Amino acid sequence: MALDDQKRAFKYVGTTPNRPDGVDKVTGKAQYGADITAPGMLMGAVLRSPHPHARIVSIDTSAAEAMPGVRAVVTGKDFPAVEDQGFADIGETCMARDKVLYDGHPVAAIAATTPAIAKAAIRAIKVEYAPLPHVTDVDEAMLPDAPVVLEGRALEHVPAGMSQNVTNTCEFGHGDLEAGFTKADLILERSFKVGAAHQGYIEPNACMASYAADGRADLYCCTQGHFFVRAVCSALMGMEASQLRVTASEIGGGFGGKTTVFVEPVALMLSKKSGRPVKLVMTRDEVFKATGPTVHASVDCKIGMTKDGRITAGDMTLRYSGGAWPSGTIEMGAQAGFAAYDMPAVRTLGWTALTNRPKEISYRAPGAPQAVYAVESLIDEMCQQLGLDPVETRLKNAARKGTLSSYGVTFDDIGMVATLEAAKAHPHWSAPLGPNQGRGIAAGFWFNFGGNTCVSLNINADGTASVTEGNPDIGGSRASISLMAAEELGIPYDNIRTIVADTASLGYNDNTDGSRVTFAVGLATIKAARAAIKVMCDRAAAMWGIDAEAVEWIDGAAVPAGPNAGKFPPMSLAEIAAMSFQTGGPIAGHHEVNVDGAGVSFGVHICDVEVDPETGHTLVTRYTVAQDAGKAVHPTYVEGQMQGGAVQGIGWALNEEYIYGRDGRLQNAGFLDYRIPVASDLPKIDTVILEIPNPGHPYGVRGVGETPIVPPLAAVTNAVSRAIGKRMYQVPMSPPRIMTTIKGK
């Protein structure tokens, strides 16, 4: 669906009305995953492996089953085998079968009448393990003699003779690397490490399942995609999708981390075996140990540059591990790494290896921050060595319309140059710095996606409208969707209510991910509204006794199209709706589509830090984000996405990391030891929203949710490196790591 008109004047889109979920959330009425209850409900608890890698010899649940109040026990043997490998892998993350593959891997679950009984029963289960050698580091996992996590999972294009942990490889690029490096005046090659970060959502994963004796089931859960939950859970339970209705609760953050299931199939099986509703709520310890963080990464990056700052070639090798199961995230990182630049010669080579860690799941722009961190850090170091301005250098090399991207596609209209110019023009860029302070800048890129989407828009008899969509609202989408419906229908925002329907009420909707909802659901909403408008124009034409083609829709009313159509006063939406029962029945519009045409997005971040040379503590003193939103439908929400992504990236850059001991166990499974930034750690994040319309959306919308986490790792690194006068090559830059670099060790 193409862009309508770049000069269109919007009435509602671009305004910032109050969020429709605000009152419920600030008054505590909003129902999150753990808030759902049912009569007779049992409480679930999960037994998890203390070993990073072990064979399960036996599980004795007899003592637990004999305890008063215990109603059901579940192990891996209760789940039928699943043919689909992707679903089977997800199922095994929820409940181990023959082997445990990471510290925290579930091995059994209990449903009991109280949480205390469930916990006591968990302790009564006896599991005999045969521990196996483990590996938790990607570089070690790729060594030929590394302990093998899973056998036989390498894709067909992985070269023979490598460790069986290596499951995937990919290569992207174009041009003559050797010739490119020959033209360079400076060639630098550096190695980087990126820790695995958790999405850090505040609401733990939670669900309530109710499996009836007739084989039908209801599941309530906090998720980014209840249709996907239905697909996975129905497959793992061996039931038909139509018999499982999934309802998404309000969601306390996801950021990609709730695009899969961890407890839902277990709760369903416990409910099936007990005949009672079962609630399962993860503790924070369980969330850290057993829900997916990002990949962790090891990167070698080499760039050639002329004295005046032209990049002549870039070559990068990425090694990612997404835990104990194969992961495709490497392909995203390998494509995104150099995408912001116009490169005559470029290559990215990616590898994925299995480690004894939990299964990775998406986190905003999965795979891109790790790769872009290396590129943007190295460019900054080269600018320092050559005495070049880092913004001007990036402008000189920036991708623009007509650039052959590093992943093979020729760019259309994009915002890389505009975001760089915005950063350059921002007062932040030229503000003075004090002692021990440094300023870093970095660019970032993300693809954005569309996907399967269904929207139903009903015109109510009182002249209001209801929009029914199927994507959990994690970033304000109900407001944005209502705004786009208001824009099309020509009625006030407050006259529209958008709800997120359950899986029985709409066709399949892809997850709320890929920065897709405002783009794709918005597009479907616009089409649904236009379908409803067509019906309303037909009704007006019938009432006027003129041809339907002679009626058009202007500012919320049907009007005769031109003088030859007849002289009739405009007939408002409310008037047409009020007569809908007499003129043919209820009025609605629908649209079902698999949307493509999402526009890529660029962002540029500026970061100031002050580093304490005595302790290595880093304080972010100023931070600015410039990003292309295509069209900001609700600018406050857009700003929130940009600020939120930046904050999460700052946390990753400075503090956040999964730390495994030599015993292969996670050492910091809690917010005290895995420290995310809080408000008092941060300055106000300033934002500059740019609007370079996406040709693939009627209003020009691009996704905004993921790009802002891409630049911060390098922006903060470049600021810290300049502040301390030495380069940092690993994130997070914890105080001990900074002190080690300062002391030159």
Partner 1 sequence: MVKVRLWGTLRQWTDGQQDVDVEGQTFKQVLDNLSAAYPGLAPQIKRGVSLAVDGVIYRDAWFQPIAPGAEVVLMPFMKGG
| 118, two tokens | 């469930």
Determine if 515 is a binding residue for partner 1 (CB under 8 A): yes
CB of 201 to partner 1, least distance (A): 12
Element at 649 (helix H, strand E):
helix 635-654
Beta pairing partners, 321: 296
Q: How far is CA 312 from CA 175, 306, 315, 385, in A?
A: 10, 7, 11, 16
CB of 405 to partner 1, least distance (A): 9
Map the footprint of partner 1 across residues 397-416, applying CB under 8 A.
Answer: 407-412
CB of 469 to partner 1, least distance (A): 18
* Size (the chain), residues: 745
Determine if 623 is a binding residue for partner 1 (CB under 8 A): no
- Specify the residue, 416 or 551, whose C-beta has the smaller distance to partner 1: 416
CB of 496 to partner 1, least distance (A): 27
Return d(Cα 348, Cα 401) in angstroms, integer. 22
Backbone angles phi, psi at 333, to 5 degrees: -65, -40
Helix (H, G, I), strand (E, B) or coil at 385: helix
- Specify the residue, 162 or 588, whose C-beta has the smaller distance to partner 1: 162
Map the footprint of partner 1 across residues 592-611, applying CB under 8 A.
Answer: 594, 596-598
- Specify the residue, 147 or 703, whose C-beta has the smaller distance to partner 1: 703
Map the footprint of partner 1 across residues 648-707, applying CB under 8 A.
Answer: 696, 703, 706
CB of 596 to partner 1, least distance (A): 5
Q: How far is CA 419 from CA 422, 423, 550, in A?
A: 5, 6, 45
Q: How many CB atoms lie within 10 A of CB 183?
A: 14
- Specify the residue, 361 or 558, whose C-beta has the smaller distance to partner 1: 361
Q: How far is CA 460 from CA 21, 32, 199, 253, 495, in A?
A: 21, 29, 40, 32, 10
- Specify the residue, 52 or 293, whose C-beta has the smaller distance to partner 1: 293
Map the footprint of partner 1 across residues 358-387, applying CB under 8 A.
Answer: 361-366
Per-position DSSP letters for 95-145, written without gaps between them: S-SSEE-STT-EEEEEEESSHHHHHHHHHH-EEEEEE------HHHHTSTT
* Among residues 255, 262, 652, 674, the one that binds partner 1 under rule CB under 8 A: 255
> Site size for partner 1, by CB under 8 A?
47
Return d(Cα 54, Cα 48) in angstroms, integer. 12
CB of 366 to partner 1, least distance (A): 5
Helix (H, G, I), strand (E, B) or coil at 204: coil
- Specify the residue, 474 or 666, whose C-beta has the smaller distance to partner 1: 474
Return d(Cα 343, Cα 311) in angstroms, integer. 7
- Specify the residue, 83 or 214, whose C-beta has the smaller distance to partner 1: 83
- Specify the residue, 510 or 691, whose C-beta has the smaller distance to partner 1: 510
- CB neighbour list of residue 542: distance below 8 Å, 6 or more residues apart: 548, 583, 584
- Tell which residue, 344, 380, 363, has the closest CA to residue 173: 344
Parallel, antiparallel, or unpaired: how do β-strands 437-446 and 601-611 relate?
A: antiparallel
- Specify the residue, 512 or 730, whose C-beta has the smaller distance to partner 1: 512
* Among residues 446, 519, 623, 699, the one that binds partner 1 under rule CB under 8 A: 446
- Specify the residue, 52 or 514, whose C-beta has the smaller distance to partner 1: 514
- Tell which residue, 456, 428, 365, 285, has the closest CA to residue 646: 365
* Among residues 172, 325, 508, 652, the one that binds partner 1 under rule CB under 8 A: 172
The owner of tokens 């930034």 is 677
Map the footprint of partner 1 across residues 61-90, applying CB under 8 A.
Answer: none
- Specify the residue, 594 or 667, whose C-beta has the smaller distance to partner 1: 594
CB of 512 to partner 1, least distance (A): 10
CB of 253 to partner 1, least distance (A): 12
CB of 451 to partner 1, least distance (A): 7
Determine if 252 is a binding residue for partner 1 (CB under 8 A): no
- CB neighbour list of residue 45: distance below 8 Å, 6 or more residues apart: 109, 110, 112, 115, 118, 119, 121, 122, 280
CB of 551 to partner 1, least distance (A): 32
- Specify the residue, 320 or 493, whose C-beta has the smaller distance to partner 1: 320
- Tell which residue, 519, 514, 522, 515, has the closest CA to residue 498: 522
Map the footprint of partner 1 across residues 122-161, applying CB under 8 A.
Answer: 155-157
* Among residues 514, 664, 708, 712, the one that binds partner 1 under rule CB under 8 A: 514
- Tell which residue, 310, 311, 348, 345, has the closest CA to residue 330: 348
Q: How far is CA 275 from CA 36, 39, 65, in A?
A: 18, 12, 15
Cβ burial, residue 611 (10 Å; 0-12/13-18/19+): buried
- Specify the residue, 440 or 451, whose C-beta has the smaller distance to partner 1: 451
CB of 706 to partner 1, least distance (A): 6
Stretch near partner 1 under the rule CB under 8 A, chosen from 104-112, 132-140, 421-429, 441-449: 441-449
CB of 166 to partner 1, least distance (A): 13
CB of 297 to partner 1, least distance (A): 15
CB of 256 to partner 1, least distance (A): 3
* Among residues 249, 271, 274, 448, the one that binds partner 1 under rule CB under 8 A: 448
CB 245, CB 234: distance < 8 Å? no
- Specify the residue, 177 or 239, whose C-beta has the smaller distance to partner 1: 177
- Specify the residue, 112 or 418, whose C-beta has the smaller distance to partner 1: 418
Map the footprint of partner 1 across residues 306-335, applying CB under 8 A.
Answer: 328, 331-332, 335
CB 372, CB 407: distance < 8 Å? no
CB 720, CB 609: distance < 8 Å? yes
The angle subtended at Cα 397 by Cα 394 and Cα 400, nearest 5°, is 105
* Among residues 516, 634, 697, 722, the one that binds partner 1 under rule CB under 8 A: 516
- Alpha helices, H only, 250-298: 264-274, 284-290
Q: Which residues bind partner 1 (CB under 8 A)?
A: 155-157, 169-173, 255-257, 259, 328, 331-332, 335, 347, 349, 361-366, 407-412, 446-451, 513-516, 594, 596-598, 696, 703, 706
